[in-house]
Amino acid sequence: MSEINQVKAQKHLEVENKRHENEIKKTRSENIRQYETEVKKREGDIQRMRDDYDSRISRLKNEQEQKLSQIRERQSQSIQEENNRMNQELDNLKKTHSEQVGEIKLSQKTEIEELLESHKRTLDVAKQKYLKEKSKFDA
């Protein structure tokens, strides 16, 4: 009987081993399926996070470009205003300069005329003195 019991024990052991192997296979396949599901889910999460990050980066770049464009526009306006102010100041300086040149020319012309008049009077006085002295010697 011991052989029968051994055969029964052997068969029971084989059945238990097969059942255990089947349970392990089933558990493995469930674990693999669960793992693949989690991997897909997490990869989807990662992809969503990447997409969100990329869209955020794009949005920030666009905002920076808009701000930069506004700053450039304001800078251009400031430069234009400054150029206009500088041109107006230059025109004012040119006008002032030309007026000063005109005043100087007029004063120099007047001074020359006065000098010429004074010179002419001096010559007339000298001529009269000469003629007076000459008339003393002639008479």
- pLDDT tens for each residue of 38-77: 999 999 999 999 999 999 999 999 999 999 999 999 999 9
Q: What share of the chain has pLDDT > 90, as a percent?
A: 81
Whole-model pTM: value is: 0.51
* Residue whose C-alpha is closest to residue 64's, from 72, 54, 76, 75: 72
Determine which of 67-71, 82-86, 122-126, 129-133 has the lowest per-residue pLDDT on average: 129-133
Please give the average per-residue pLDDT across 118-137, as a whole number: 90
